[in-house]
Amino acid sequence: MSVERNFQLSEYDLKTYTLIYLISQGMILLLQRADGKSDMAGKITGLGGKIEQDESLLDSAKREFYEESGLRIHDPELKGTFQWLDESKKICMTHIIFASQYSGELLEENREGILAWYLIEKLQEIETLAQYQMMFLPYLLEDSNHFYSGIGEFENEELIDYIDSKGGKNV
């Protein structure tokens, strides 16, 4: 019996990223993405970026965080992964990383956007927070022993479907 498949992995381009959240004293450091920098322009997200071929996951997290914030994180910890695909034939695997120990002088603004500390308890009130982050951030912030895994599908930059390890399904 043959199964009809509309989804062909060979048609997709795989990209790997880090998404880092620095947490300190009930606050979380986030970045409002600069206009025109990406499809996330104007949205508030964690920090991070592409993992280079010659670097480890945690080395990439440290490098990206320093480049975007001026801060060095000392205790990056992998907390989960979020994967998504979209109509542009791109599959992205994002590694979610938390840190709480850091040093250095915070850059208030950089080429990626504007950095600011936000109260964790008020995250759900941030209107420009990138939508997909609310699928995992409250869950991971609530209980640091969990590891999150999720996959979503985007169309026209809107999340249209997802499933994850905490039992979340659909949008």
77: closest CA among 56, 103, 58?
58
d(CA 110, CA 132): 23
Domains of the chain with CATH codes:
9-164 (3.90.79.10)
**CB of 78 within 8 A of CB of 51?**
no
pLDDT tens, residue by residue, 41-80: 889 999 999 999 999 999 999 999 999 999 999 999 999 9
pLDDT tens, residue by residue, 13-51: 899 999 999 999 999 999 998 877 566 788 999 999 999
2-11, 71-80, 111-120, 129-138: which range is least confident on average? 2-11
Q: What residue type is 33 in one-letter code?
A: R
pTM: 0.89
Q: Rounded to 5 degrees, what are φ and ψ at 167? A: 95, 5
Cα 54 to chain centroid, rounded:
21
Band (pLDDT 50/70/90 cuts) for residue 7 is low
Classify residue 157 as exposed, middle or buried by CB count within 10 Å of its CB (0-12, 13-18, 19+).
Answer: exposed
